[in-house]
């Protein structure tokens, strides 16, 4: 068994002197050789102290005599010892005895990724799961200041239960983990390799490594891209007849995935971004790469580390439909929806149970519905239905759990309680469902409705507010705000209505119902109060993300807050879809991935599908925008958001009649609201219907005499009419009033401004990432 390793410019080979079976190194007894890596030979051994099998890696004699290699070997041991992560090979010990330098690690059973790839490309889902595990392991390393610098299929090991482990940190570069010695001038030097030395493996090295420049975290991201490319295609990303040819390919060749499935899913874009020649054009952190893989593919973190084959077999899934109002006055609709939503939230916290999202489930509110159709559309195996009846202080809830296949009833029960016992009823129903589905849970995992208040009156006011808020109409939003404020009066320490108010003020400003600056101040105050009560609520960070983006114009802060929201609640589609509002230079893939994930979570939500279309439109994919918006309009033909987004795409595509029809319908449905009138006038002007556009502009001017109308809605019409000075004059007014929409400069209604040099000045003024 011969070993070899390569540092470009220096090649070394050794003839190993194998350790014999039975050889003792400290408390370890060698059993047999099992392989050789670029930095040493590997043996299986027995740990006599802890009575377990381990792997021992030994530095060959020829290299042990070289102090540089010995230092690097020790560095690998320290690097691994600093990490504790399921996707990184665990190190147990490090030692030296009778001239033998060795490390002791966990003993793995399975194959290297290189061995698996000998059979060709991997199934897409498995490839993504492995890449996600690789990203998770590297994220742990990068957090410790460790860069691998030699990631490749032979340095990734797949265990028998499909867990991926990153091996061989022998070329790891320590950035800040270990204290370095000071030079003569007292400056700290953290370099571990000489300048200009090229280290790594040909075919997986980044361009900066090829050039002998400093490698940072983004070099590992390049390697992940190369490995993912190989897993998806079955061939290396960079090939050539010689080492020089391969190095030239890394510097000059742009590999492309040809598999339609990979291209359709967006994986081609992810791989391409990882393999960008310029490090600044890649994902900037491996966590961003992992997030994009996760959201785009639908492979979650827990799922990625589970057994990939058959991962969905036997999985439990449920849709909770809104309960029917059986009360005499038929005035408990808000309570019926709130009851169902609370149970849904409690069940969503159960590992092993997938819960369909609220908006998709609530599409089946009222009337008869075929359970098989519900199951097919929501991809669930069971459906919970129920009814609520209130009379005075008494509450009767009837619930039944039905199987989609066959339509038979699994379980049903009636709960008669005092109205003040509503939380207990919700807990009981959730627990009964778990029992009916025979889910194995620890006590800690038992589903419970989170009690954010003990004040029943405040709770019912909040439910009423949320009910009206979800109607998304101007009058309903105002009514929701009233209920939220009343709930706060009843219990000022109740965080949820504070969050509701923060989101309410933000959305009212977005649609031009209130003055932006005033709404921003109110939204911040409500959010600050909510976070002071509970800083671990996903909804609070979701609201914070919108406030930071639209009111503060703090782009990166807003993005981080929304990501924090998705971490606290990965099942909430709103935070995911709002991450689509960040499609500027270098983040287009993440935006598309986020909205796709939202669609997977809530496929029958017209808002989610409409925003998904809008995000595609931001990137110039107007045909894709139409396709996604049509999904929304198939669900609700009069959905205003879907109408204005698809109308904008039709304008850009030159489908004038369809565009004006959609935009006019949106304006009519919303009572000629200024926001929708602005879109209509812009569409008319862009389509060459100047007289119609000026009539719409006049209507906006008339409205401005009696109600607030953002100057922005008039600015976009002036620009589309070619009246650029008037357009920029109105736009400057809008900026002074802190218009929200300027943070989304790729919105179609800004098309008329883009060719004018003043547009770049405006983007620079707000420090927008798209500014030249």
Domain presence at residue 494:
no
Going by pLDDT thresholds of 50, 70 and 90, the confidence category of residue 537 is very high
Q: Is 214 exposed, middle or buried (0-12, 13-18, 19+ CB in 10 A)?
A: middle
Q: What gap in Å lies between CA 134 and CA 428, rounded to an integer?
A: 41
Task: Give the range among 70-79, 367-376, 378-387, 540-549 with minimum mean pLDDT.
Answer: 70-79
pLDDT tier at 296, thresholds 50, 70, 90: low
What three-state secondary structure class fits 555?
helix
Average pLDDT of every residue of the chain: 82
Catalytic residue among 47, 93, 150, 162: 150
Q: What is the mean pLDDT of residues 168-193?
A: 39
Q: What's the rounded mean pLDDT across residues 668-697?
A: 95
| 135 in the same domain as 20 | no
Instruction: Say if residue 283 is in the same domain as residue 328.
Output: no
Q: Which residue has the higher pLDDT, 330 or 271?
A: 271
- pLDDT given for residue 299 in this prediction: 53
Q: Does 368 map to a domain?
A: yes
75 inside domain: yes
What distance in Å separates the CA atoms of residue 21 and residue 118, rounded to the nearest whole number?
A: 31
Asked if residue 300 and residue 435 are part of one domain, the reply reads no
Structure tokens at 231: 């897993």
- Residues 296 and 152 placed together within one structural domain of the fold: yes
CB distance 494 to 455 below 8 Å? yes
Is residue 117 assigned to a domain?
Answer: yes
Average pLDDT over residues 455-472: 85
* In-domain check, residue 652: no
Strand partners, 415: 397
Here the tokens at position 111 are: 């194959």
Q: Does residue 628 belong to any structural domain of this protein?
A: no
- State pLDDT tens for residues 15-51: 445 688 899 998 899 999 887 655 568 899 998 887 7
CB atoms within 10 A of CB 747: 18
367 SS3 class: coil
Mean pLDDT is lowest, of 440-444, 698-702, 735-739, for: 440-444
Choice between 227 and 375, residue whose per-residue pLDDT is larger = 227
Check residues 422 and 280 and name the one with the higher pLDDT: 280
pTM over 0.75: no
Instruction: Write the DSSP string, 501-551.
Output: HHHHHHHHHHTTSS-HHHHHHHHHHHHHHHHHH-TT-HHHHHHHHHIIIII
CB atoms within 10 A of CB 395: 22
- With a CB cutoff of 8 Å and minimum separation 6, the contacts of 307 are 161, 162
Find tokens 């709930």 and name the residue: 487
Query: What confidence score (pLDDT) does residue 140 get?
Result: 86
pLDDT of 306 over the 50 cut? no
Whether pLDDT at 590 is above 50: yes
pLDDT of residue 174: 41
Residues 447 and 354 in one domain: yes
Supply the pLDDT for residue 38.
Answer: 52
Q: Which of 403, 335, 336 is nearest to 366 (CA)?
A: 336
Q: What pLDDT, on a 0 to 100 scale, did the predictor assign at position 269?
A: 84
Q: Which domain holds residue 86?
A: 3-106
What CATH number is associated with residue 58?
3.30.200.20
Annotation says 93 is catalytic: no
pLDDT score of 398 = 83
Residues 235 and 146 in one domain: yes
- For the segment 585-593, the average pLDDT, to the nearest whole number, is 83
Residue 119 DSSP one-character state: T
Q: 679 versus 185: which is more confidently predicted?
A: 679
Q: How far apart are CA 401 and CA 593, in angstroms?
A: 34
Q: What residues pair up with 88 in beta bridges, in sequence order? A: 166
Q: Which of 59, 78, 106 is the last residue of a domain?
A: 106
* pLDDT value of residue 307: 36
Is 147 in the same domain as 218?
A: yes
99 and 173: one domain?
A: no
Residue 310 is predicted with a pLDDT of 37
Task: Select from 451, 470, 498 the last residue of a domain.
Answer: 451
Q: Are 366 and 385 in contact (CB under 8 A)?
A: no
pLDDT of residue 308: 37
Of 261, 267, 260, nearest to 293 by C-alpha is 267
pLDDT exceeds 50 at position 612: yes
- The percent of residues above 70 in pLDDT, for the chain, comes to 85
pLDDT at 413 over 50: yes
Which residues face 417 on adjacent strands?
A: 395
Question: Does 324 share its domain with 384?
Answer: yes
Q: What is the pLDDT of residues 282-295, one digit of tens each?
A: 998 898 898 788 76
SS3 623: helix
Q: Is residue 41 part of a domain?
A: yes
136 and 242 both lie in a single domain: yes
More confident residue, 212 or 543: 543
Give the CATH number for residue 328: 3.40.50.10070
Are residue 245 and residue 149 in the same domain, yes or no? yes
Least confident of 114-123, 180-189, 520-529: 180-189
What sign for the dihedral angle of Cα 324, 327, 331, 332?
negative
Element (H, E) at 38: none
Phi, then psi, of 55 in degrees rounded to 5: -110, 140
Can you give the pLDDT at residue 220?
94
Residue 564 pLDDT class (50, 70, 90 cuts) = very high
Helix, strand or coil, per DSSP, at residue 32:
strand
pLDDT tens figures, 189-199: 223 444 444 45
Q: Which of 282, 304, 326 is the last residue of a domain?
A: 304
Mean pLDDT of 643-665: 95
- Cβ atoms 87, 163 nearer than 8 A: yes
Residue 377 has pLDDT above 50, yes or no: yes
User: What CATH number should be reported for the domain holding residue 182?
Assistant: 1.10.510.10
* Cβ 165 vs Cβ 133: under 8 Å: no
Q: Give the separation between CA 149 and CA 145, rounded to whole angstroms.
A: 12
- Between 184-193, 405-414, 590-599, the lowest mean confidence (pLDDT) is in 184-193
- Number of structural domains in the chain: 3
In a domain, 135, yes or no: yes
- The span from the CA of 638 to the CA of 632, in Å, is 9
Q: Which of 28-37, 310-319, 518-527, 708-717 has the lowest mean pLDDT?
A: 310-319
Q: For the segment 106-123, what is each residue's pLDDT rounded down to a tens digit?
A: 888 888 999 889 888 888
For 214, the 3-state DSSP assignment is coil
Q: What does the DSSP assignment read for 452-512?
A: S-S-HHHHHHHHHHHHHHTT--HHHHHHHHHHHHHHHHH-TT-HHHHHHHHHHHHHHHHTT
Q: Are residues 276 and 322 in the same domain?
A: no
**What is the per-residue pLDDT for 408?**
65
Rounded-to-integer distance, Cα 753 and Cα 760, Å: 9
């Amino acid at each position: 068994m011969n070993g070899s390793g390569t540092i470009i410019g220096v090649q070394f080979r050794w003839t190993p002197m194998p350790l014999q079976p039975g050889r003792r190194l400290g408390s370890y007894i060698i059993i047999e050789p099992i392989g050789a890596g670029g930095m040493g030979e590997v043996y299986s051994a027995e740990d006599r102290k802890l009575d377990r099998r381990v792997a021992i890696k030994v530095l060959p004699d020829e290299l042990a005599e070289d102090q540089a290699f010995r230092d690097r070997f020790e560095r690998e041991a320290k690097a691994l010892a600093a990490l504790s992560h399921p996707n990184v090979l665990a190190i147990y010990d490090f030692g030296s005895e009778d001239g033998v330098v060795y490390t002791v690690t966990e003993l793995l059973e399975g194959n290297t990724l290189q061995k698996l790839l000998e059979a060709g490309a991997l199934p897409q889902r498995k490839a993504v799961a492995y890449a996600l595990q690789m990203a998770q392991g590297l994220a742990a390393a990068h957090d410790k200041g460790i860069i691998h610098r030699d990631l490749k299929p032979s340095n990734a090991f797949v265990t028998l239960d499909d867990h991926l482990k990153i091996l061989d940190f022998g070329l790891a570069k320590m950035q800040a983990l270990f204290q370095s010695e000071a030079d003569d001038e007292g400056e700290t030097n953290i370099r571990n390799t000489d300048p200009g030395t090229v280290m790594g493996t040909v075919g997986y090295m980044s361009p900066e490594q090829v050039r002998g420049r400093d490698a940072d975290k983004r070099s590992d991201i390049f390697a992940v891209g190369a490995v993912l490319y190989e897993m998806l295609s079955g061939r290396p990303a960079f090939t050539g007849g010689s080492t020089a040819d391969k190095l030239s390919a890394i510097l000059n060749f742009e590999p492309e995935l040809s598999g339609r499935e990979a291209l359709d899913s967006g994986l081609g874009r992810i791989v391409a971004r990882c393999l960008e020649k310029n490090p600044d054009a890649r994902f900037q952190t491996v966590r961003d790469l992992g997030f994009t893989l996760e959201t785009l593919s639908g492979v979650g973190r827990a799922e990625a580390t589970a057994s990939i084959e058959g991962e969905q077999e036997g999985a439990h899934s449920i849709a909770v439909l809104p309960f029917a109002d059986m009360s005499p006055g038929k005035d408990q609709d808000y309570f019926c929806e709130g009851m169902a939503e609370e149970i849904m939230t409690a069940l969503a916290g159960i590992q092993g149970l997938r819960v369909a999202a609220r908006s998709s489930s609530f599409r089946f509110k009222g009337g008869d519905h075929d359970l098989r159709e519900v199951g097919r559309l929501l991809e669930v195996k069971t459906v919970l239905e129920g009814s609520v009846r209130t009379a005075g202080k008494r509450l009767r809830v009837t619930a039944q759990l039905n199987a989609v296949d066959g339509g038979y009833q699994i379980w049903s029960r009636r709960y008669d309680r005092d109205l003040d016992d509503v939380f207990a009823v919700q807990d009981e129903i959730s627990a009964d469902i778990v029992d009916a589905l025979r889910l194995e849970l620890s006590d800690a995992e038992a589903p419970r409705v989170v009690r954010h208040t003990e004040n029943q009156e405040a709770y019912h006011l909040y439910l009423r507010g949320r009910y009206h808020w979800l109607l998304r109409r101007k009058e309903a939003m105002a009514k929701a705000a009233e209920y939220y404020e009343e709930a706060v009066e009843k219990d000022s320490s109740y965080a949820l209505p504070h969050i509701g108010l923060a989101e309410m003020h933000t959305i009212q400003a977005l649609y031009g119902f209130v003055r932006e600056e005033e709404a921003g101040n109110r939204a911040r105050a409500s959010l600050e109060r909510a976070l002071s009560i509970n800083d671990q609520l996903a909804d609070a960070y979701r609201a914070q993300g919108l406030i930071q983006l639209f009111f503060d114009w703090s782009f990166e802060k807003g993005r981080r807050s929304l990501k924090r929201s998705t971490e606290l609640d990965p099942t909430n589609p709103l935070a995911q879809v709002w991450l689509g509002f960040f499609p500027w230079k270098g983040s287009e893939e993440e935006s598309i991935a986020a909205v796709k994930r939202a669609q997977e979570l809530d496929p029958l939500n017209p808002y989610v599908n409409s925003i998904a279309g809008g995000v595609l439109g931001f990137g110039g994919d107007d045909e894709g925008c139409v396709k996604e918006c049509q999904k929304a309009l198939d669900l609700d033909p009069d959905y205003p958001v879907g109408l204005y987004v698809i109308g904008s795409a039709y304008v850009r595509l030159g489908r004038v009649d369809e565009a004006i029809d959609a935009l006019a319908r949106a304006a009519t449905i919303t009572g000629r609201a200024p926001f929708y009138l602005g879109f209509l006038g812009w569409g008319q002007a862009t389509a060459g219907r100047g007289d119609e556009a000026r009539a719409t502009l006049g209507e906006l001017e008339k409205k401005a005499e009696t109600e607030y109308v953002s100057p922005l809605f008039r600015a976009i019409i002036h620009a589309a009419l070619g009246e650029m000075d008037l357009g920029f004059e109105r736009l400057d007014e809008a900026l002074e009033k802190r218009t929200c929409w300027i943070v989304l400069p790729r919105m179609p209604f800004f098309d008329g401004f883009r060719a004018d040099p003043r547009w770049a000045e405006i983007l620079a003024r707000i420090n927008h990432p798209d500014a030249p």
